[in-house]
Amino acid sequence: DVKVTQSSRYLVKRTGEKVFLECVQDMDHENMFWYRQDPGLGLRLIYFSYDVKMKEKGDIPEGYSVSREKKERFSLILESASTNQTSMYLCASSHSLIGEKLFFGSGTQLSVL
Amino acid sequence: KQEVTQIPAALSVPEGENLVLNCSFTDSAIYNLQWFRQDPGKGLTSLLLIQSSQREQTSGRLNASLDKSSGRSTLYIAASQPGDSATYLCAPSGAGSYQLTFGKGTKLSVIP
């Protein structure tokens, strides 16, 4: 069965800390995505990657960076966490062909204090 | 920029009722549209994917339709059950793009 795994379900960090959110998929998908979800704002795309070492900015990339050294793993990095980055973070993946279904992980609820 | 609206924001129905969830989008130049389900505090699960050349897709008690020219999609749920209680989101995909634009969802409660 298809699986997208996010390393942490809940995470609490301090302002100014560097934060790493990890995502692994076992479906050999080329595309991987990071979204954040906030009440009233819905899901917003932060970054996506269509191949190893390739990345594209989404709608809200400021304050974030990403890393994709291996096909199955896509990391989201908060360089210096701030309280306005408290959110639910969702990782997703899809096959290379446009028009394929998107598969999501269970999400990481990040609180920055 | 694509904008997606889902009405109503919340819906409560008695068990066994048939219901329709609505989704409208401003840019009709889409490649496909997906309907997702999200349980509280969880990730999203893709329910149905309709390509732009299709009019509808069915999976069990779910039927999704697409009218690209008018910028509308509906999700029909037959014989609703308490286990259908969740938030349902629609997301059209831009033409030639990997990116989806999500609506804010309709929160469905099915009362036993």
Nearest in space to B6 (alpha carbons), one of B66, B53, B56, B74 = B74
Under a CB-based contact definition with an 8 Å cutoff, are residues B11 and B19 in contact?
Answer: yes
Contacts of A97 (CB under 8 A, 6+ apart): none
- Test the B interface: residue of A48, A102, A109 with most B CBs within 10 Å: A102
Mean pLDDT by 10 residues, chain A (113 residues): 88 97 94 94 93 91 96 96 97 82 94 97
> Which stretch of DSSP H or E encloses residue B59?
strand B56-59
State the nearest Cα–Cα gap between A17 and chain B, in angstroms.
25
* Closest residue to A90, CB basis, from B43, B49, B96: B43
Q: Mind giving me the DSSP string for A63-99?
A: TEEEEEEETTEEEEEESS--GGG-EEEEEEEE-SSTT
Distance from CA of A90 to the nearest CA of B (A): 7
Structure confidence at residue B1 (pLDDT): 83
The contact set of A with B (CB < 8 A) is 4, 31, 33, 40-43, 45, 48, 50, 58, 88, 90, 92, 94, 98-107, 109
C-alpha count within 13 angstroms, C-beta hemisphere, residue A29: 27
End-to-end Cα distance, chain B = 41
pLDDT for B94 equals 80
Of A93, A109, A110, A113, nearest to A101 by C-alpha is A93
Query: According to the model, what pLDDT value does residue A100 have?
Result: 81
Instruction: Please tell me the predicted confidence (pLDDT) of residue B23.
Output: 97
CA–CA separation, B76 and B68 (whole Å): 17
High-pLDDT (> 90) share of chain B, % = 81
pLDDT band at B96 (very low <50, low <70, confident <90, very high): low
> What was the pLDDT predicted at A97?
65
Q: According to the model, what pLDDT value does residue B61 have?
A: 97
Look-up of token digits 């990345």: A55
Smallest CA–CA distance, residue A46 to chain B, in Å, is 11
Q: Are A50 and A31 in contact (CB under 8 A)?
A: yes
pLDDT for A40: 87
Rounded Cα distance between A26 and A81, Å, is 29
Taking Cα atoms as reference points, which of A33, A29, A39, A40 lies closest to residue A60?
Answer: A33
pLDDT greater than 70 at residue B20: yes
Measured CA to CA in angstroms, residue A108 lies from A27, A47, A58, B35, B37 at distances of 20, 16, 19, 22, 18
Q: How far apart are CA B105 and CA B83, in angstroms?
A: 17
Give mean pLDDT, residues B34-45: 94
